[in-house]
Structure 1
Amino acid sequence: MSAQSNLLRKLNIDFANKTPAARRRRQMAWTQRTRHLVQLGFALFILISSVIHHTAIEDATTASIDALCPFGGIETLQRWIASAGQYVPKTHASNIILLAALVVGTLVAGGAFCGWVCPFGAAQDLLAWVRRKLKIKEVVVPAKLDRILRYGRFVTLAVILFQTITTIKLWFADFDPYRTLFSLDWLYEFNWIASWPAYLLTLGTLAATLFVERGFCRYACPLGGVISVLGRFSLFRIRRVATACKGCAVCDVPCPVKLNVAEADVISSNCIGCMACVDSCPVHATLEMKLGPTWLDIVRKRKAGTPVAAK
C-alpha cells in the first residue's frame, strides 16, 4: 500500500466510484497520461531526427541533435553577440530561436518545459516508473543536503559557459548525458575510446536516477538551473490556499523533484509543472495553477502596507 493511500485513508477520504475524490483520481490519471504522451511525442521527434541525421546521404543537410537544443542557444549566445552573428561550431540559428521560445515559455508557465517537453526528463520519469514496478527502494535525500545539492546546477552551468567561451566549441557535448543518449551516436558511430567519458557519465547518471527520482534535474542540469531562475518571474504558478489545506501532505508524495508543496503558499520555482501535486490533492481548489507572479504579490503587499515575508 502506498504512502499516499495510507494518508488518504487516515483522512477518511472515500474512494467510491461516484465521490468527488474518485473524480479527482480520474482527473489525475488523465492529466498524467496526457503529460506522458506529450513527453513521448517530443522524445520520438528527437530520436527520429537523430536517425534521419545519421542515415541521410552525405551531401544532405539535416539537423543534428545539437541544433535542436535550447541549451545550445545559451552556449552560443555570447559568441553570436560578440562576433555579430557567428555561432559556436555545431550550433545554428535554430538554437537561438529555441532559446527565445524557452525563455518566453518559462516566463509564462515556469518549469513546464522540464515536466512536459524535455526528453531526458521523460527518460528519468521512465526510470522512476521502472523503480516502482520493481519495488526498488527510493533513496530519500535529506532536506538540508537537498538544498545544498541543488546549487550543483549552477556550478555545472558556470563550468560549461567558461569552457565554451574559452574553447569556442560545444565543450559539454563530449559529456552531456542527454546528447549521449538521444543523439544515437552509440548506435551508429560507437567509439568507446573516444567517447568513454560520456558513456560512463550517462550510465552513472541513469543508474543514480533509478534510485534518486529526477536526480539529474534536481542537482546537475544546467538548463534546469536557468529555468529555475527565470521561473521566479513566471506568470502562472501553482498556489496553495492555506485556509482550505488539511495538512495531510498528500501533495508532497507524487512530486518528482521532491518539493515541499504542503507548506508553501507559492510553489518553488524549481517546480517542473507536472501537476501531480494539484491532481493528488483530496481537497478541491486547495492547489491550483493560477495567474499571478510572486513579484505581483510583493507589490500588492507593499501597497497595502502589509509586511512582505522573506522567501
Structure 2
Amino acid sequence: MKQKKYALIRHLSQIGFVLLILYYTLGRFIFPGVRGIELHGICPFGGVETLPTFLASGGLKFVHETGLSNFAMLAALLLAVLAFGGAFCGWVCPVGSVTEWLFMLRRVFWKKRIIVPEKLHNVLVWFRYVVLAAILYMTFATGFLVFGTVDPFLNLFSFGRVFAVGLVVLVLILIGSMFIERFFCRYLCPLGAVILPFAKLSATGVVHSKEECTSCKGCEEVCPKQIPISRQTKIDRGQCISCMKCVEECPTALSFKTGW
C-alpha cells in the first residue's frame, strides 16, 4: 500500500479552510457574538472584476460591493501562486474542495473514472478564458458584479442570499464535478484563468524523471487535472494544483522541487 503522507495534510488543510468560511458565514446564526463577513469583500476574484472600472476611473471608483480588500486578497493570492504554484486550488479553495469531495463520494458507489478525450479536453481548458472575458465585459458595462449571481463560491457559502439562476448553475457544476474530477476547476473557473500564467512562473512544482519512469502511467490515472505527466519533464505548472497524488503514486520518478 502506497504511503499517503501528503493526502492527510492536504485534506486537513481543505477542511480547515472550509470550516473557517462556515464559521464566519453560518456561525453568526449559531454562536452569539460571532461577526459575519461579507464574502464579496474577501474574494480575490473581486479584485479582478473591479480592476477595469478602477483603472478607467483613475482609481476613483470600484464596482459595487468591492474595494481595496479585494485588491489586497488578489495580490496576496498571486504572490502565493508565484511561490507555490496552483497549491491554492488544491489545498485552499473551498469550491475546489467541495467538488473534490463530491467526486470522491460518487466513486464510493461507482468507481469508474471518466476520462475526457484528450483533444476535447485540450480545447475545453481554454473555455475559462471565455468565461473570464464575458464576466469582465459585463461587469464593466453594468457596474455590477454580474458573476455574483452564479458564483459557486457565493452560492455555496452565502447563506440566505442566493439567486435562482445561481442555484441552477451550482447544481449543474456539482453534478458535473461528481462525474468529471475537478470539472469546474478544469473548464469554467475564471479565477483559475487568472492564476494560470502566474503559476507557470512558479518557483515550485512537480518534476518527472524519465530515467526512473516505467511508463506505467499510474501518475496520470490519479491526476485530477488530466495532465499527460508521463510526457513531461517539468509538469505543467499552469495546470497542476500541487495535490501531490502523482508523487504519492510514484515517488521514484516524481518529486516536488524548488526552482525554475
Please give the residue correspondences for 1:162-201 in structure 2 after superposition, counting only pairs within 5 Å: 162-185=137-160, 189=161, 195-201=163-169
Distance 2:249 2:115 in 1: 20
SS in 2 for 1:237: strand
Deviation at 1:67, TM superposition (A): 1.1
SS in 2 for 1:36: helix
Q: Tell me the secondary structure at the aligned position of residue 244 of structure 1.
A: coil
Which residue pairs with 1:274 in the alignment?
Answer: 243
The answer on 1:75 being equivalent to 2:39 is no
- Structure 1 unmatched ranges of 5 or more: 1-21, 294-311
Amino acid in the other structure paired with 2:95:
F
What is the CA–CA distance in structure 2 between the aligned matches of 1:61 and 1:97, rounded to whole Å?
Answer: 21
Query: Unaligned regions of 5+ residues in structure 2, if any?
Result: none
Return the TM-score normalized by structure 2.
Answer: 0.92
Q: Give 1:136 deviation, angstroms.
A: 5.0
CA distance in 2, matches of 1:162, 1:49: 31
Match of 1:208 among 176, 185, 188: 176
Q: How do residues 1-311 of structure 1 correspond to structure 2 at under 5 angstroms?
A: 25-26=2-3, 29-52=4-27, 62-83=36-57, 84-185=59-160, 189=161, 195-268=163-236, 269-281=238-250, 283=252, 286-293=253-260
Deviations 1:206-246 (A, max 9, x none): 01111111110000000111111211111112111111211
Percent of residue pairs identical: 37
Whole-angstrom CA distance in 2 between matches of 1:164 and 1:181? 21
Aligned-residue CA RMSD in angstroms? 2.0
Q: What secondary structure is seen at the aligned counterpart in 2 of 1:253?
A: helix
Q: How many residues align?
A: 257
* Distance in structure 2 (CA, Å) of the matches to 1:131 and 1:95: 35
Counterpart residue type for residue 113 of structure 1:
F
Q: Secondary structure in 1 aligned to 2:257?
A: strand
| 2:26 alignment partner, SS class | helix
Segments of 4+ moved more than 3 angstroms: 52-57
| TM superposition score normalised by structure 1 | 0.78
CA distance in 2, matches of 1:167, 1:47: 31
